[in-house]
Structure formats: structure tokens, C-alpha cells
Amino acid sequence: MEKLTYHQRLSILELDSLELRRVRADLLFTYKLVFGLIDASLHKLVTIGLELAAGSCSQTYIYIYNITSHHIR
């Protein structure tokens, strides 16, 4: 197993890459933060803007969240 590449080992073990796991964790955390599912001071971490945009059909509208981080990792 030690002579295999990182991606070969992931494939054999049926695991996701560290990068993908981090993206998923970030998305899950952001979702919970935005929708108040965790107890955190959201305004200290990010600024959230909500825009209403017209969809492809004249009667369809899309809500777009804009999230700006105040901290750099």
C-alpha cells in the first residue's frame, strides 16, 4: 500500500480526498450558520446579502445569497 499514490489509496479504500472533505465541511458549516442551526455570532464572521433575481421564466424568481467572510484562513 505504501507504493501506491494518494489517489490510488483513496480509490482502494473508497474514501474522498481531503480537499473534497474540507469543501463539504465548509458547505455544511456555512449552511448551518446561515440558517441559524448553530449558536454563533454570524455578524462577526460574515456579511450575508440576499438578492432577488429573475429566473429564465418571467414568473420565476431566484434568491441568491452573497456571503463575504471577514476572516482569512
Q: What is the pLDDT of residues 7-58, one digit of tens each?
A: 999 999 999 999 999 999 988 988 887 787 887 766 666 666 666 665 555 5
Residue 35 cell numbers, joined:
440558517
Nearest Cα to Cα of residue 68 among 44, 50, 52, 48: 48
**Residue 18, amino acid:** L
Q: What is the pLDDT of residues 31-45, one digit of tens each?
A: 887 787 887 766 666
DSSP-derived secondary structure letter, 4: S
Instruction: State the amino acid at position 22 in one-letter form.
Output: R
Please state the pTM of the whole predicted model.
0.57
